[in-house]
Structure 1
Amino acid sequence: VAQFRNEKTGCVAGEKRIIEKDADAAAGAGEGIYWKLESWVKRMDAELNSAVGAVGELFAIRTELFEDVETDTILDDFMISLRIAQKGYRIAYTPNAYAEETASLNVGEELKRKIRIAAGGIQSLFRLKSLLNPFKYGWFSWQYFSHKVLRWTLSPVSCFLILPVNFIVVWQQSAWQNLQFYTVAFYLQILFYLLAAIGWYLENSKLHFKLLFVPYYFLFINYASIRGILRYIKGKQSAAWEKAKRAA
């Protein structure tokens, strides 16, 4: 409530925290790390200018700024908060106000959730395109572009293109010049994918090394993003919210 003393604050976002357990597999370990990073980014965004959106678990808005979203909206919490930003208000961030929940029950449940979020993200890009006008929204346009637009478009595609492109560069380097940097980068990528494969293999085993789940989860969420993009393009993503099964 204290954040609303600033008349330019139209929305206050709380923090989402994942209850982590020692026995967590990829879904739990990856989601926990993801939300720690996401929370840090939100804090930095808010300190610079404004947070970019709010999660549905915990946020507050000025009553007079509420605006109904379209009935086919996939990510209503994101759209509601960003529509407030469209009106020129900032989104504050209060990490001391937080909501906790357990991670998705398994990777299958997490996949359904991530696909839906990615499809909703693409939908929101079309409906919030005015936020990309830096002459009107200043720093917020850059924050929105770098934090959301790139994540939902360039990031998932480049994630799976960078390895074959790097391979071509290394293969052709003798015809160009000594490109040792690209050779090292190529082998580091191979190592990263190998660690991800090990994380995938250990997903259903009793051996849970959380650090191995990080590269696996990174590739997993980018794969889910591509699935989400395709689902939105095909018009197959329902706006109805389907609750993911959570770990006990």
Structure 2
Amino acid sequence: MNLFFKLLFYISAFIIYWAMIGYQSSLKYIGKIYKSRKLQKDYNHQPKVTVMVVAHNEEKVILEKLHNIIELDYPKEKIEFLISSDNSTDKTNEIVKNFIASHSEYNIRLYEVKARMGKTNAQNEAQKTVVTEYLVMTDANSMMDTNAVKELMAAFTSDDIVYVSGQLSIVNQKASDVSNAEANYWDSDLAAREIEGRIQTITAGNGALYACRTKDYYDFNPIQCHDSAMPPLYALEGKRAIANHDAIAYEKAGEVIEDEFGRKVRMNRIILKHIIPDIRILNVFKYGWFSYFYFGHRTCRYLLWISHLLILVSSALLIRESWIYSVAFLGQTLFYLLALLRAVTKSQNKYLTLIYYYTVTIIAQWVGVYRILTGKSKPFWEKAESTR
């Protein structure tokens, strides 16, 4: 029996290490091997494109977003704007209609979703009205750089590239330790995506800003989200999803832990399916680097919730076997006590906040799993007020 617990301990320890440190470190070396591969761009590639904004009760930011998208540097005759309102009950629709009436020189449409079924469904419904060759997706609270669409389109340099993700830039990084932790996470994640896309294909996108060929759009189940579902789907079809971080969207991160917790719970609404969404991903002989990328960047991260529990339990049961397990158990206990201390005292100590932030991330995964198992997982999202 001790052998079984030791296996659990070391497997869990490896998953945690690889998800948080090992994979990122390995990518740096792999990136050096493939340093000759560069992101190719063709700025003469300026096809007709539709910019879709999905909104649900975004009266606080929708007007700013509308002004933002019409200021994009892209040929006016080649760009359309589509606002998909997911059964908004505030003044969002009214604001959009008034804006359309006062800016008739722009091709702006409002699509009103009658029954609220979440962001993905709103995209699915509105996409069926799109006639342009390319589709750019962006969130209502994400302000796009003026060159964003031009940069996204420039990256479609070959037929096998069907998806391009932009860069999310956190504008309020210094507002709180929570937003700083989230910004640091994104910086690390973006660095990984740059290497993945340059070598073969990324494992996940970015909901704030991405583009795809309209003919390759897929009607996902509303419980899914494009960020995590699109790139793996394309990879399994032998197509590429890449990142162009010169296409930038600016957004606020949650400044309070409650907002970030809620967002992370929503992100984990189908975490069990994301661990291995398709068994074919494991076929390294067919999918090459993508199999490696997905295991390190996604599978291990999606297993953190159970790995932390198993390493805690196994180290407790093996505590008399070796000082290694004693140290591991005491270290974990201290880690969680420090997180609890931060929760109780509301301390602004940056190290305590970092520990607390990570612990909350793991708890959010557990909540996601609980909701899946109890049938409470829903496709809806509630906006975080500190991000508006």
Q: TM-score, normalised by structure 1?
A: 0.82
SS at match of 1:11: strand
Amino acid at match of 2:231: S
Higher radius of gyration, 1 or 2: 2
Which of 172, 185, 200 pairs up with 2:328?
A: 185
Shift of 1:128: 3.8
User: How many Å separate the matches in 1 of 2:351 and 2:215?
Assistant: 46
Q: 1:3, 1:12 within 8 Å by CA — same for their partners in 2?
A: yes
Q: Residue in 2 aligned with 1:17?
A: 169
Deviation at 1:25, TM superposition (A): 4.4
Alignment of 1:63 onto 2:206: no
* Counterpart-to-counterpart distance in 2, 1:129 and 1:239: 24
Provide the rounded CA distance (Å) in 2 between the counterparts of 1:58 and 1:247.
16
Structure 1 segment 26-65 matched on structure 2, within 5 A: 26=178, 28-65=179-216
Find the partner of 1:199 among 326, 342, 349.
Answer: 342
CA distance in 1, matches of 2:276, 2:324: 38
Q: 1:17 to 1:210 in 2, by over 3 A?
A: farther
Q: Secondary structure at the match of 2:269?
A: helix
Matches within 5 A, 1:72-83: 72-83=222-233
Quick one: which of 364, 373, 377 aligns to 1:233?
373
Query: CA shift at 1:132, angstroms?
Result: 3.3
Aligned residues: 236
Higher relative contact order by CA 8 Å / sep ≥ 6: 1 or 2?
1
Cα shift readout 1:87-111 (whole Å, capped 9, x = no counterpart): 1112211222222211225322222
Aligned to 1:98: 248
The structure that is helix-richer by fraction is 1
- Unpaired segments of 5 or more residues in structure 2? 1-152
Residues 138-177 of structure 1 correspond to what in structure 2 (within 5 A)? 138-152=288-302, 154-170=303-319, 172-173=320-321
What is the identity percentage for the equivalent residue pairs of Structure 1 and Structure 2? 29
Corresponding residue for residue 214 of structure 1? 354
* Deviation of the 1:57 alpha carbon: 0.8
**Pairwise CA distance, 1:49:** 2.5
Matched, 1:85 2:225: no
What TM-score comes out, normalization by structure 2 length?
Answer: 0.55
Tell me, in whole angstroms, the C-alpha distance in 2 between the residues paired with 1:102 and 1:224.
20
Runs (4+) of structure 1 moved beyond 6 Å?
Answer: none
1:176 maps to: none
Q: Could you tell me which runs of 5 or more consecutive residues in structure 1 were left unpaired when the two chains were aligned.
A: 174-178
Aligned mates of 1:225, 1:115 — CA distance in 2: 6
